[in-house]
């Protein structure tokens, strides 16, 4: 099973991806996690990405496409994967289309977790007030920036997949369990269709 989870920062993509990993035994490919690991290790990519991430901008497409291209080719991705945080631009989505075609692979589903951005911001502000300790890119100010970057650059990615008839949407404002069962419903539906084909 290969799928993409789309949705703005804070929509719960990472949490849902982890549950899907348990359920389906496939790997979670989180480009945000990969970049944070690169920053922590002080690699050339990490050195370049750190400041961009801290201000809530996007790391350049060519860097991201290379990272994901290498990652998808690894053995543990053969059984399937969940892309969490990639693609984040239409150029990344187009590059992914090519990459998958080269490997003779298709996508089972592209699922957009739809949330109320104002409610998310309220959640982030509450978390910042209560903990005082957050990811450098998780302050209310940077969160606003990341949401505006999402609207401008990532929201069109949903349109890219909608135009291909591949986009499913789930309501992300319910409980974690509710969102998970909505996602599972989409996946079971796509498996049933694949089984008939
Ligand atoms: P995330 O953990 O997915 O919210 O990602 C954290 C940060 O990493 C983002 O705000 C971006 O700066 C960067 N990032 C992660 N994935 C991508 C991507 N596919 N393209 C560009 N930048 C990315």
Helices (H), 42-175: 44-54, 61-72, 90-102, 117-131, 140-149, 155-163
129 is catalytic: no
Q: 192 CA distance to ligand 1 centroid (A)?
A: 33
Which pLDDT band holds residue 197 (cuts at 50, 70, 90)? very low
48 is catalytic: no
Cβ-contact 63, 48 below 8 angstroms: yes
Q: 67 CA distance to ligand 1 centroid (A)?
A: 12
Which pLDDT band holds residue 17 (cuts at 50, 70, 90)? very high
144 is catalytic: no
List pLDDT tens digits, range 123-169. 778 877 787 655 667 788 888 999 999 999 999 999 999 999 999 99
d(CA 114, CA 126): 21
Which pLDDT band holds residue 178 (cuts at 50, 70, 90)? very high
Letter string b/e over residues 17-29, b meaning 16 or more CB atoms within 10 A of that residue's CB: bebbeeebebbbb
Q: Whose CA is closest to atom 15 on ligand 1?
A: 32
Residue 35 has pLDDT above 80, yes or no: yes
List pLDDT tens digits, range 49-82. 999 999 999 999 999 999 999 999 999 999 999 9
**pTM reported for the whole predicted model:** 0.92
Contact 137 CB / ligand 1 (< 6 Å): yes
Mean pLDDT of 83-99: 98
- Annotated catalytic residue: which of 48, 55, 71, 127? 127
Residue 2 has pLDDT above 60, yes or no: yes
d(CA 80, CA 77): 5
**52 CA closest ligand 1 atom index:** 12
4 contact partners, CB below 8 Å, separation of at least 6: 82, 83, 86, 87, 107, 109, 110, 111, 161
């Amino acid at each position: 099973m290969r799928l993409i989870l789309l949705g703005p920062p804070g929509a719960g993509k990472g949490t849902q991806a982890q549950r899907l990993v348990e359920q389906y035994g496939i790997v979670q490919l989180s480009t945000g996690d990969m970049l944070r690991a690169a920053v922590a290790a002080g690699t050339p990519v990490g050195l370049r990405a750190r400041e961009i991430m801290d201000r809530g901008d996007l790391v350049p497409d060519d860097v991201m496409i290379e990272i994901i291209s290498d990652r998808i080719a690894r053995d543990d991705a053969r059984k399937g994967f969940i892309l969490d945080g990639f693609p984040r631009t239409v150029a990344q989505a187009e590059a992914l289309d090519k990459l998958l075609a080269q490997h003779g692979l298709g996508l089972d589903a592209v699922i957009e977790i739809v949330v109320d951005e104002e409610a998310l911001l309220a959640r982030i502000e509450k978390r910042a007030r209560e903990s005082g300790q957050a990811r450098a890119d998780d302050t209310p100010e940077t969160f606003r920036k990341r949401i505006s970057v999402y609207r401008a650059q990532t929201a069109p990615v949903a349109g890219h997949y909608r135009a291909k008839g591949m986009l499913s949407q789930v309501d992300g404002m319910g409980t974690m369990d509710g969102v998970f069962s909505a996602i599972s419903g989409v996946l079971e539906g796509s498996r049933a269709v694949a089984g008939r084909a």
